[in-house]
Amino acid sequence: MPFYWTLAIIALLCAAGYVLGRRKAVASVGGDKRRLHSLPNFYGMNVALKGAVPAFGLLVFWLIAQPLFVEWRVSSIVSDLAVSEARDLGLVMVDVRRVADGLDTAVATGTMTASEATDIAAGDGNVRERLGAAGVALGSEVSEPVLRAAQRYRALSSTGDTLRSVAVLAVLLLGLGWAYRETDGEFRARNVVEQGVLALLLGAACIAILTTLGIVLSLIFNTIEFFSIYPASEFFFSTTWFPSFGGGSSLGILPLLWGTLYISLIALAVAVPIGLMAAIYLSEYASPRVRGIAKPALEILAGIPTIVYGLFALLTVGPALMVVFGDGGLGWMQAGTAVMTAGLVMGIMLIPFVSSLSDDIINAVPQSMRDGSYGLGATQSETVRQVVLPAALPGIVGAILLAASRAIGETMIVVLGAGAAARISPNPFEAMTTVTAKIVSQLTGDADFSSPEALVAFALGMTLFVLTLGLNVFALYIVRKYREQYE
């Protein structure tokens, strides 16, 4: 039974359960709703919830567990093959899955009958060609064990799918039936339903934890796998980044970190003075009218997607810099994509980020401190520099750290604007590359996820995650620790 039908049946039966439960409750008190414990709707909701929640729970669990189970059973078949051919088990499983998908497609497009697909052997008929005819390209000839495993994979999957529908529907009916039986005028439906809804709300809130968990686990597992085939010391301390998919890559993170930090530094050098001065002017000097125009105008910059900045760097800022610093001008720059290009544009992107955060912080400094300073005869700028800024400093440092974390994690600007060469050089007009740009380039395309060249992206992601998280936690710590408490 197709997946969508299962969903539709669940929805339909729950709706029916709602109507029936409500009707039974009303009928049990002879139609006098005042004698019910709860409002009639709660009885209906009780039935529907007790049907839907376990059924959906089982469905989700099954969807996650079935592929794991099938994988485990099938890999026990092919593990001998992997040992005999000295190949990686993961790679063989990729083949198996591809063949199984190919058989599915072949059946779906009608180039193979269903029974053919389950019985075909590598010996009879050219499997690769027949799958190719169905539009499934296979890299190499299909060997007998792989084909067997693929057929087993398909059989297990289809049995699993059938079992899933049956089990989910059984749970659904059990839940509905149980709730329907207990429905009765005395039943405290509201309390039960509200408890259930509260549990659902808690579940929704826990998705944030699950997301973090998902990020951390997916990074950790793949990073561990990467370090099992590539030495960690090489990764952290090597100064060459030269991936080659044929093997023999050297994957040192240092050039990427250098590029990342260099670009972020330039971005901050642009964004911090402009953003901070803009914030000071807007909060201390500007009339409400100027503020009303300038603040939203700056914030438009924050709402523009990063791909736009990327294109701006590639096609406007890069060529403009080439005119000044390129061969026609000072001759420092070889191509439009460079650290400077990406840094400048990223700086523009960060201006509103720095300015609106600093603005909030400066506004939080109490007016009495300014008044005290004016009373002593200080000018407005002296007040800002000697009273307001020191008072706001922890917050501003926090804002700058948050901006730095944004700069380090920014992807599209560096992918388009910074170039692709991984090198360590002090010249800001040379092309360099960053951690994020390399994550993109290592993971796009048809790499399989078992080569070090693809897995390195997870190690890079882990580094990035730790770096940005660390900066954020540090920023919060500084703000908390050094914050002045005003009354």
Partner 1 sequence: MTDATQIPSSGAARPAGKSIITTDDRTKKRNAAEKRFRMYGIAAILAGIACLVVLLGSILLNGVTAFQQTFIQVPVYLNPEAVDPNGNRDPEEMGSATTFTYKPIVVDAMAALVEERGIETEIDPGDMDALFSAAAVAQVRDRVLANPELVGETVTFNILASSRVDGYLKDRVTRDSVARDKNIDAGHLDIVDELRAEGDVVKRFNWDFIFGADASESRPEQAGMGVAMLGSFFMMLVVLGLSLPIGVAASIYLEEFAPQNRLTDIIEVNISNLAAVPSIVFGILGLAVFIQFMEFPQSAPLVGGLVLTLMTLPTIIISTRAALKSVPPSIRDAALGVGASKMQAVFHHVLPLAMPGILTGTIIGLAQALGETAPLLLIGMVGYIATNYPDGVASGFLDPNSAMPAQIYEWAKRADPAYYERAWGGIIILLVFLFAMNAIAILLRRKFERRW
Number of residues forming the site for partner 1 (CB under 8 A): 91
Options 64, 124, 139, 367; binder of partner 1; rule CB under 8 A? 64
Options 36, 45, 322, 384; binder of partner 1; rule CB under 8 A? 384
d(CA 30, CA 101): 58
| 8-state DSSP, 400 | H
Q: Which of 183, 162, 151 minimizes the C-alpha distance to 22?
A: 183
Could you list the beta-strand ranges (E) of 131-245: 241-242
Q: Is 190 in the site for partner 1 (CB under 8 A)?
A: yes
Q: Is 197 in the site for partner 1 (CB under 8 A)?
A: yes
Kindly report each contact of residues 26-33 with a partner whose C-beta sits within 8 Å and lies 24 or more positions away, as own/partner.
28/183, 28/184, 28/185, 29/185
Taking the complex as a whole, the smallest distance from the CB of residue 374 to partner 1 amounts, in Å, to: 12
Options 170, 315, 323, 420; binder of partner 1; rule CB under 8 A? 315
Which CB atom, from 22 or from 295, has the smaller least distance to partner 1?
Answer: 295
d(CA 110, CA 300): 54
Options 12, 207, 376, 420; binder of partner 1; rule CB under 8 A? 207
Interacting residues of 375 by C-beta distance below 8 A, sequence separation 6+: none
Options 1, 8, 33, 67; binder of partner 1; rule CB under 8 A? 67
Q: Is 324 in the site for partner 1 (CB under 8 A)?
A: no
Task: Report 108-167 residues binding partner 1 (CB under 8 A).
Answer: none
Options 238, 411, 425, 427; binder of partner 1; rule CB under 8 A? 411
Which residue stretch of 47-55, 135-143, 240-248, 403-411 sits at the interface with partner 1 (rule: CB under 8 A)? 403-411
Sequential DSSP letters for 66-115: HHHHHHHHHHHHHHHHHHHTT--HHHHHHHHHHHHHHHHHHHHHTSS-HH
Options 254, 335, 443, 478; binder of partner 1; rule CB under 8 A? 443
Task: Kindly list the distances between the CA atom of residue 390 and the CA atoms of 380, 466, 483, in Å, as whole numbers in the listed order.
Answer: 14, 30, 11
Q: Which of 396, 398, 399, 401 minimizes the C-alpha distance to 384?
A: 396
Q: Is 379 in the site for partner 1 (CB under 8 A)?
A: yes
Q: Is 278 in the site for partner 1 (CB under 8 A)?
A: yes
Which CB atom, from 170 or from 217, has the smaller least distance to partner 1?
Answer: 217
Task: Report 3-32 residues binding partner 1 (CB under 8 A).
Answer: 4
d(CA 475, CA 467): 12
Task: Report 340-359 residues binding partner 1 (CB under 8 A).
Answer: 348, 351-352, 355
